[in-house]
Structure 1
Amino acid sequence: MRRNPSPLSLILLGLGTFLLVLAPMLAWYVAPRAAVNPIDVDQTAVYTGTGSVFDVDEVATVPDRKITVTQRVRGNVADSARSGKAVWDVTTTVDTDKSLPAADPHDALEFVPHRWVTDRRTNMPVHCCDEKPYIQGEAYLKFPFDVQKRAYRWWDNSLGATVTLTYRGTKKIQGYEGYRFTGTVPATRTGTRLVPGTIVDEPERSQVLAEEWYANHGIELVVDQRTGRVLYAQVGPRKTLRAPGGTKDAAVLLDSEKLAFTTDTQEFAVSRAKEESGQLRMVGQTLPIGAGVLGIVLAAVGVVLVVRGRPHPDTSESSQPSPTM
């Protein structure tokens, strides 16, 4: 009599086939959809360093002051859900020990609110949802997923334009390796400000529409390759005032060679990068490879059991011995 394949062989064959179909779906369909900018982000980055700041009480620039920059990023879930984009509201405050702690961030040396809107998959800026200012470039608060070893156009909010950051190899932050990018900003006029004439060496004028100038001694960012999360950031801002049409700085508002992530900020960024990178690796590599290998094994075992369950090709039903009474 012809023997039918055992239920176990069919189950193994079916399960193996399912895993072989699942593996490429995880890698090519699920993984790209998991790599998206979150909409419920709520995090704070703190930079510290020393430098010169303009003291409004003394009406003069004072050196060797501790400077703290606090950058708070919150996702606007409602606007993100409505637009399908990642809508992040950002506030940046610059303080000295004199203004910390501040009950009102507006009391800080500098307070800058703005909104960054991006395509959740590509990280490219999207100009909608009351975005302000008009942000450009490929990176700002984070880089795109799967960072490449090439130059990127990074948005410098103080400059109001993009800065080209060059890939400079790898660097470990808190024992975790990331891609390092660096760049500088030459002195550039960024706007105007109405100030007393004495501040820009024009004492005969009560008010002067002084020119605001900005430069950056050096920008260094270390970024997680898989997620694009910034693990370490260091900047060297210089903000000055010049008399209208002047060629020299008349007053220094802020000047620091180095403002960098605190240790706590670095540790938080690294821990989140490890977690998020591990999740993406699992969905994009570990699970697809595991499913593919297991699928091949189960399908092979199922085929073997099916083949063994069939009668030998040289054996016919007529050649089987007849039952005796």
Structure 2
Amino acid sequence: MRRKPGVLPFVLLGVGVFALVFGLLLDRYVEPRVKRTPVDVETTSVLTGTGSYFDTAALATVHGKQITITRRIVGDVAAAERSGNAVWNVSTQIDTPRTLPLRDPRRSFQWTTERWVTDRRTNLPVHCCGEQPSFRGDAYLKFPFDVQKRTYRWWDGVLGGAVPLRFSGTTEVLGQQGYRFTGAVAARRTGVTREVPGRLVGRPQERRVRAEEWYANAGIELVVERRTGRIMNARIAPKITLRAPGARYDAVTLLASDRVEFTDATRRTQVAESARDSRRLAVLGETAPAFATVGGGLLTAAGLVLLVRGRRRPTATEGSRRDDRTHTSD
């Protein structure tokens, strides 16, 4: 008779197989479903810098003034649940030292509202749910998950078009490593016209002129956390001007700055949220599956070894019988 194996080999086998299956589920099922753009967002980011803007009271461009850009994002959870996409309402206001204390977007230097709809997995635009405007590209308020070292098409709302941002190396923001993407926009018409006095654009003989709005951005720099696609720091150098219809040169500078960048508070918030979400994705997609696979493999192997050895090891009675048979044959 062979000795029946104990309970331990079966326990090790059961736990090992469970760990292997659990690791597979984390890697193939749980982590991909966690890697989705959130829908219940409510965030505010602020960029500040020094530059120039057109003072409507003085009817002249003033220089060396602080420019503040505030962007608020609120997710439309109900629309997201109906459509399965990320639906974000975005409010962007530009303030000068005169309008900033008013704390009213309607009285800011410039205020725009947008509604962005994106695929929660790919971050690509989805044209539904009251999207406004209809945009293109693969990066805007965030980049896709698992950012690659390649060129992305970043949607510039002022331009009304996608701008290629090329990978320009890695850098750190408050100790968190990110990918740096850079690009620029040469002066282009935005398609917007503004009715202004003719003298403002070099046509004093005309009382009112439909001036053309032109836009340029000498330096776009975004630092993106690799796993989450969150933008940890943003730096831009916008310039918005007016030209007389058909003119080749700027007549009025509406807004210009060599550097507008995330404030320290916004940078800290973005880095903290990026680090938190990145750790979560790393645990679900890398650490936990790896531990489960390795641990499960070792436990399964140990259980099999004990099971085989237990079935092969003779009992004490079997051993004594073999000894008796040996002595008899002698």
Q: What's the TM-score once normalised by structure 1's chain length?
A: 0.94
1:67-86 equivalences under 5 Å are 67-86=67-86
Percent identity over the alignment? 52
Aligned mates of 2:103, 2:48 — CA distance in 1: 20
Q: For 1:175 and 1:298, how far apart are their aligned partners in 2?
A: 38
Higher helix share: 2
- Per the alignment, residue 203 of structure 2 pairs with 202
Counterpart residue number, 1:189: 189
Distance in 1 separating the partners of 2:235 and 2:204: 37
Q: Per-residue deviation at 1:272?
A: 0.6
Map Cα deviations across residues 8-50 of structure 1 (whole Å, 9 max, x no partner).
2212101101111222221122211111100011111110001
Deviation of the 1:313 alpha carbon: 8.0
- Write the distance in 1 (CA, Å) between the matches of 2:57 and 2:247: 25
Q: Give the aligned CA root-mean-square deviation in angstroms.
A: 1.9
1:320: how far off? 5.5
Q: Residue type of the partner of 2:239?
A: R
Q: 2:243 corresponds to which residue?
A: 242
Quick check: 104-113 or 4-13, which moved more? 4-13
Question: Partner residue of 2:111?
Answer: 111
Structure-1 separation of matches of 2:283 and 2:317: 51
Q: CA deviation at 1:74?
A: 1.0
The DSSP-based 3-state class of the residue aligned with 1:13 is helix
Deviation at 1:100, TM superposition (A): 1.3
Q: Which amino acid aligns with 1:135?
A: F
Partner in structure 2 of residue 43 of structure 1: 43
For 2:307 and 2:313, locate their aligned partners in 1 and report how far apart those are by CA, in whole Å.
12
Give the letter aligned to residue 66 of structure 1. Answer: Q
Which residue identity is paired with 1:186? A
Runs of 4 or more above 4 Å deviation: 311-317
Match of 1:306 in 2: 307
Counterpart residue number, 2:26: 26
CA displacement at 1:189 relative to structure 2: 0.4
In the aligned structure 2, how far is the partner of 1:103 from the partner of 1:162? 31
1:128 to partner: Cα distance: 0.7
Please say if residues 3 and 313 of structure 2, whose CA atoms lie closer than 8 Å, have aligned partners that are also in contact. no
Deviation digits for residues 280-315 of structure 1, max 9, x if unmatched?
Answer: 000001100110111112112211221232144899
SS of alignment partner, residue 54 of structure 1: strand
- Displacement of 1:248 in angstroms is 1.0
Q: For residue 48 of structure 2, give the secondary structure of its aligned residue in structure 1.
A: strand
Matched, 1:167 2:167: yes
The one-letter code matched in structure 1 to 2:295 is L
Q: Which amino acid aligns with 2:281?
A: L
Aligned residue for 1:91? 91
The CA deviation at 1:101 is 1.9
Q: Name the CA distance, whole Å, in 2 between partners of 1:39 and 1:207.
A: 46
Residue 240 (structure 1) shift: 0.6
- Which residue of the partner structure matches residue 285 of structure 2? 284
2:272 corresponds to which residue? 271
Partner in structure 2 of residue 5 of structure 1: 5
Write the distance in 2 (CA, Å) between the matches of 1:269 and 1:275: 10
Q: Which moved more, 1:308-317 or 1:239-248?
A: 308-317
Q: 2:327 maps to which residue?
A: none
* 2:260 match: 259
The structural deviation recorded for 1:271 is: 0.5
Q: Report the alpha carbon displacement of residue 200 of structure 1 after superposing the two structures with TM.
A: 1.4
SS in 1 for 2:102: coil
Pairing 1:222–2:223 present: yes
- Cα deviation code 1:108-136 (max 9, x no counterpart): 00101001111000011111111111111
Letter in 1 for 2:79: D
Deviation at 1:102, TM superposition (A): 2.1
Change (3 A) 1:126 1:313: same
Q: Partner letter of residue 87 of structure 1?
A: V
Supply the AA of the counterpart residue of 1:77. V
Count of aligned pairs between the two proteins:
321
Gaps of 5+ in 1: none
SS in 2 for 1:309: helix
Structure 1 distance, partners of 2:223, 2:143, is 10
Instruction: Please state if 1:132 is matched with 2:145.
Output: no
SS in 1 for 2:100: coil
Once the two structures are overlaid, the 10-residue window that deviates more, 306-315 or 49-58, is: 306-315
Specify the alignment match of 1:149 in structure 2: 149
Measure how far apart 1:245 and its partner are. 1.0
SS of equivalent to 1:37: coil
Displacement of 1:316 after TM fit?
A: 11
